[in-house]
Amino acid sequence: MTPVFDPFTLPNGVTLPNRLVKAAMEENMAAAGQLPDHALFELYRRWSRGGVGLIITGNVMVHADALTGPGGVVLDQDSPLEPFRQWATAAKSGGARVWMQINHPGRQVRADMPGVAWAPSAVRVDTGKTSKMFAEPVAMSAAQITETVRRFAETARRAAEAGFDGVEIHAAHGYLLSQFLSPLANRRTDQWGGSLQNRARLLLDIVRAVRATDAPEFAVAVKLNSADFQRGGFDADDAAAVIAMLAPLGVDVVELSGGSYEAPAMTGQAGDDRTRAREAYFLTLAAELATTSPLPLMLTGGIVRRRVAEEVLAGGVDLVGMGTALAVDPDLPTTWRHEPEAAVELTPVRMKNKAIASAASMARVRQQLRRLGAGRPTRPTLNPTLALLQETALQRRALRRYRTWLTTRAALANSAH
């Protein structure tokens, strides 16, 4: 077995201190101006002290008019850079490296959010009875697609300027790039639709543009679904083909996850035997992909024990991503060095509606992140229904602030022209 504390050298020549990664979790903790502040700085200092070799931030939005939630952090051409410099410094303070996850939600935006709901095709998110919670999307024009490539490249360039060691381009979990990859969401008949090569075009163009703007030692990773867990959707064979397409483009790591809001496998809510059978939700699929992958792979999803992390590495995967475990116990990697059997416990959320169960699960995790950001101990026993109510109230306030900010920003931009 490959020990979890062995260093790992990326294709770009940069060495990570060990194989453990704090995987991205959507904090929704942005301060005024959709910027990181002291709460996020403190949270990331805790993770850096906790012993992981790499920290990947929660998703940072490339388009101010398109957020996964009203508390989302935005980094675009108009964002002040100093808060991001402080964020990078905090994340690296304990010896970890830090990558910024960059993302566009596409159609996965709430119906009550201002801004835009863009998608490859005008196909709404289908979560059954809760579908009306999501915006009605519009199909993107060629000009909007080109502008989106530019936005990703600009955010990556500014992340490097702020001191981040790399970026992870989010092409999983049903967000915009994942939507383009999926034949269920992408029904276009032009150069961005139809064949997998066409559906992958936007992702490949973004990777090329990001790589062109930054130095070789600046890491570029891609988060990809190993499968969508929906009949007729993006599957493991598609994932293998896309990894092969990414290999010549200077990608350093592909992180494998799975699911979307429609089939939330990433929170353990999908009804697929391959995700329920073990602690590492996507290990079976990842091990299959590792046999042919020309790029280093990282696996994320439900890992809470060192023994399982070692099993992941033994399966041919190079890096182990942990999210929820480190939200509950940020010091778990350090603990593993002298207590290999240590683990964290978080009771599964049992609700009939998978979309609501997923939201309650994420809300409970976010409450742990907020506690850590305030310098308080975590409370993993928090009732998920209560967590969802508390998070809903916080998001309501964040939505009012985001609306005001977006309106003010647009007014300033118009007056400048």
- 272: exposed, middle or buried (C-beta count within 10 Å: 0-12, 13-18, 19+)? middle
pLDDT per position as a tens digit, 158-176 = 999 999 999 999 999 889 9
**Integer Cα distance of 53 and 227 in angstroms:** 27
> Where residue 257 falls among pLDDT bands split at 50, 70, 90?
confident
Q: Does domain 8-416 have CATH number 3.20.20.70?
A: yes
Higher-pLDDT residue of 114 and 235 is: 114
CA angle 155, 123, 141 (to 5 degrees): 50
> Could you tell me the pLDDT band of residue 230, with boundaries at 50, 70 and 90?
low
Give the type of residue at 412: L
Cα 93 to its chain centre, rounded Å, is 22
The whole-number pLDDT of residue 210 equals: 98
pLDDT in tens, 173-214: 889 999 999 999 999 999 999 999 999 999 999 999 999 988
pLDDT score for 198: 98
Confidence of residue 328 (pLDDT cuts 50, 70, 90): very high
- In this predicted structure, what is the pLDDT of residue 234? 77
Instruction: Note whether 24 and 101 are within 8 A (CB).
Output: yes
Beta-strand pair 219-225/166-171 = parallel
Q: What percent of the chain has pLDDT over 90?
A: 75
Q: How confident is the model at residue 271 (pLDDT cuts 50, 70, 90)?
A: very low
Name the pLDDT band for 417 (thresholds 50, 70, 90). Answer: low
128 burial (CB, 10 Å; 0-12 / 13-18 / 19+) is: exposed
Using pLDDT thresholds of 50, 70 and 90, give the confidence band for residue 127. Answer: confident
Question: What letter would DSSP give residue 79?
Answer: S
Please give the backbone phi and psi of residue 4, each rounded to the nearest 5 degrees, phi first.
-65, -20
Whether the model pTM is above 0.75:
yes
Residue 223 host element (H or E):
strand 219-225
Task: Tokens 């290990």: give the residue.
Answer: 283
Residue type, 141: S
Strands 15-16 and 8-9: antiparallel
